[in-house]
Amino acid sequence: MIRVLIIDPQFEDDPDIEREVAGEGVTFDIVRPGAGEVPPEPLRRADAVINCRSRHRLPAHLVAEMRRARVVVQAGVGFNHIDIDACARRGIPVCNTPDYGTLEVADHTLGLLLALTRGTTAYHLRLLRRDDAWSTSELPMPSVRRMLGKVFGIVGLGRIGHAVAARARAFGMEVAFHDPYLPAGIEHAFGYRRAVTLDELLGRSDVVSLHCPLTPETDRLIDDRAISAMKTEAILINTSRGGTVDLDAIERGLRSGRLLAAALDVLPVEPLDRSHPLIAAWSGQEPWLEGRLVLTPHAAFYTPESLADMRRLSMLAVVGYLRGGHLRSCVNQDELRAHGYSPGGAADAAGREAGRGVPRNDSSDGPHGVPGAAARAGTRRSG
């Protein structure tokens, strides 16, 4: 019997999707820690762990409680809240689910841009408060502008970045991107303009959209220096990870006028901290910020369909590895190798039965490997 621990799932009671994917011989433990730490006891019993929300961290001391666990799966894209090296020391692969919600995040990104460039949110709020808002003289907004011919700059051209690029191009925008981990010349296949450096992209783009993971190199990637490198009156959109922007720098950029507008679906601290000067000004509807800041509650990924995909793909990652030895989107492959393990492939069966990986064999990487730490660093795409 395989025992799967699901931490804080995004369903109310029955793991119906997970059970259908798993089939016979699987039992489920469900814990909902709330704001607290994941309790150690269910971790000790689990053969596999599915973590559903980034607010629940799995640091080294909790990984040490995983006495039976053979795989950890993050039901989502980001994994910086999991100590992947601590997992690797115990021979535990960590997988994520980067291929759910691609369409939703791409649509949301363009929706945020339209909210600014067409003023829909600001016009809506004006009409709620003022009858005189129904007047041509009241239509000018700082960020309202024609999109045709503007440069849409993408940081991280992965699954989501590609989907966003296609949508931006459909609006007649010129697409540029910065992604140091794509091979030379790939821009010719895409038909997009490539920026060799981040500063080059920032200086070229009318809109900058972030689609990179949160790593040590992308932590506060958009700070005061980056904003100073942007075109005057540029728009910033973030639907990736909240920590990729310095919120203090965004506040200073907007207040000074150096940054025209911003749309943020993710924040460095979630739920939002209303004491932060920028959030306080937005919440108080201060006039200087009208039409220049749109916030949504980490909702870009969400539709009922995408949530079902996330649950299904997470469970597929568990059973695919435990029953078939096939790793799906392993994010700590390099760390596993560094600690003497080489996960993936049918040859791993004996090691899985023993609750560990297989001793390192650098010459026999299976077909289910993914780029390792070097390719995950920097501004590598998140989707």
Enumerate the active-site residues.
Answer: 241, 270, 298
Nearest-5° Cα angle at 215, 32 to 227: 115
Element housing 82 (H / E): none
Strands (DSSP E) contained in the chain are: 2-7, 26-31, 48-51, 71-74, 94-95, 151-155, 174-178, 193-194, 207-210, 234-238, 259-264, 293-295
CB 29 within 8 A of CB 5: yes
CB 252 within 8 A of CB 224: yes
Residue 32, token pair as written in the block:
């909902």
> Cβ–Cβ contacts within 10 Å for residue 90, how many?
20
CB 311 within 8 A of CB 18: yes
User: DSSP secondary structure string, 142-191?
Assistant: TT----TT-EEEEE--SHHHHHHHHHHHHTTPEEEEE-TTSPTTHHHHHT
CB 214 within 8 A of CB 84: no
Token look-up 């973590």 returns: 51
| Distance (Å, whole) CA 244 – CA 211 | 10
